[in-house]
């Protein structure tokens, strides 16, 4: 009777599939890293309007300000403190004027959205945005 002889085995694993997977992971992370860095553009690299002109007599603007205080947000029309619900009245009072919306940097965007909604409900679509510059230190 013939004895069974086990075939010679190569105990070292085949690394080719593992190398392929590692290579694909490297490529994947390089592409993702490139796309992530493209999302954050430095403001100093934005285009400059070299042919822009400041009008000598700009159109009249209604100034609405949102200030952040320890008690919460305060709304102003010019220098007069108003309530959020009074914004449409202020806009309609001078309907031919455009709106300049000044916002404190600590005001949450949801509050700005509420004010913009009131401005839009009053029929005004031309809004210029501004913010306070907080002094460093």
Is the residue at 39 inside a domain? Answer: no
The answer to whether the beta carbons of residues 129 and 103 sit under 8 Å apart is yes
Is the residue at 123 inside a domain? Answer: yes
Is the residue at 127 inside a domain? Answer: yes
Is the residue at 8 inside a domain? Answer: no
Q: Which DSSP state fits 126?
A: -
Considering its fold, how many domains does the chain have in total? 1
Full residue range of the structural domain in which residue 72 is found? 61-131
Alpha helices in the chain, H assignment, sequence order: 16-38, 87-93, 109-121
SS3 assignment, position 85: helix
Judged by average pLDDT, the poorest of 5-19, 30-44, 53-67, 91-105 is: 30-44
pLDDT tens digits, 43-52: 444 455 666 6
pTM for this prediction: 0.53
Is the residue at 66 inside a domain? Answer: yes
Is the residue at 9 inside a domain? Answer: no
Strands 61-69 and 80-82: unpaired
CATH assignment at residue 100: 3.30.420.270
The answer on pLDDT for 26 being more than 90 is yes
Is the residue at 21 inside a domain? Answer: no
Is the residue at 125 inside a domain? Answer: yes
Residue 19 — very low, low, confident or very high, per pLDDT cuts 50/70/90? Answer: very high
């Amino acid at each position: 009777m013939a004895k069974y002889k086990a075939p010679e085995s190569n105990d070292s694993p085949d690394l080719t599939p593992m190398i392929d997977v590692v290579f694909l992971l490297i490529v994947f992370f390089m592409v993702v890293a490139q796309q992530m860095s493209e999302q954050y553009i430095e403001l100093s690299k934005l285009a400059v309007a070299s042919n822009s002109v400041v009008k000598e007599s700009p159109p009249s603007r209604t100034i609405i300000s949102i200030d952040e205080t320890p008690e919460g947000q305060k709304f102003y029309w010019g220098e007069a403190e108003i309530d959020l619900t009074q914004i449409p009245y202020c806009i309609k009072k001078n309907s031919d004027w455009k709106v300049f919306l000044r916002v404190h940097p600590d005001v949450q965007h949801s509050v700005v959205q509420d004010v913009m909604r009131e401005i839009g409900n009053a029929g005004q679509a031309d809004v210029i945005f501004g913010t306070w510059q907080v002094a460093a230190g």
